[in-house]
Structure formats: C-alpha cells, structure tokens
Amino acid sequence: AVIPRKLYAYIEKKLFEQPYAAVSEAAEALIERKEQAYGVKSPGGEGGSGKSSGVSNRVQDGVLRVIAAEEDLDAANRWALVVTRLGEIFEGTETAKVAELFYAQKLTEAEIARNKGISRQTIRNRRDEYVIRAALLAAEHKLIRMSEYTEGRQ
C-alpha cells in the first residue's frame, strides 16, 4: 500500500512529537487560556470606563482562544488513542521494536540496523507498515482527511 508522501511526512511528524506529551502540553495551554479569558476585567474598575466594545472584543478573543485550546486538546487526545491502538496492534512484533527505536528513542535507520542486525530495507518496510496503519487510524479518528494529501491527483 502506498500513501502520499505529504501524508507520510505528516504522520511521522506526529509520531515523533510523542502524542502523550502533547496531551499534557495541550491541557496546560487550555488551563492558561481559560485563566486568561476568565481573568479579563473591564478597564476602570467595576463601573467600567465606557469602552465596553474593547472589553467585549477582549472577552470574545479570550473565548475563541479557549475554544481553540479545547480543540487542540481533543486532537492531542485522539492522537494518543492512535498511538495506544498502534501499540496494541503491533505488540511484540519487530515492527513495534523498530517504531520504538525510531520514533521514541529517535535512533537512525543505520543505528537500528547495527543494533538489531537487520537491513535498512527491512527497517523501511517496518516503518511503512507502522505509518500506513497510523494513517488509517488517524483517518478513523477524524484527524486527517485524504483530500488534503492528494499531491495533485483527483
């Protein structure tokens, strides 16, 4: 099976980002955005200063930032589900071992080949298998749309 290079690169980028850490970062960002949004006070104290449209705009911007942070957290959680499912699918396989060394420990193909005594082509095949399955799971969790990665084909 072949997937577009652009999609392959995007999936690998997400795998290198360590999705579980991304959940923590997204949660922290959401908390920060909520504190900023709900901490907005009108200028001039309780009575305000007659600049209600400025306050209104700041509140609206704050709420929009909270919504964006909630969406980021949701996506991070869904990526974590993808990685969890990949772990279940490939548990105990050479593909899982290669994925761990390549994406989590960030070893090069050459380092993995030396350490595991396998060819670089085998490593590429294992990566392909892992990335393709990740792409299918990402699509299932509505994290990607194939129409965004067609590389000029319709």
Half-sphere exposure of 35 (CA within 13 A, CB side): 6
pLDDT at residue 19, rounded to an integer = 78
- For the four alpha carbons of 148, 13, 8 and 128, in that order, the dihedral sign comes to negative
Distance, CA of 81 to CA of 54 (rounded, Å): 41
The pLDDT confidence band at residue 151, using thresholds 50, 70 and 90, is low
Q: Which residue has the higher pLDDT, 115 or 30?
A: 115
Tell how far CA 51 is from the center of its chain. 40
Q: What is the pLDDT of residue 30?
A: 85
User: Is this prediction's pTM over 0.85?
Assistant: no
More confident site: 75 or 133: 133
* pLDDT score for 53: 55
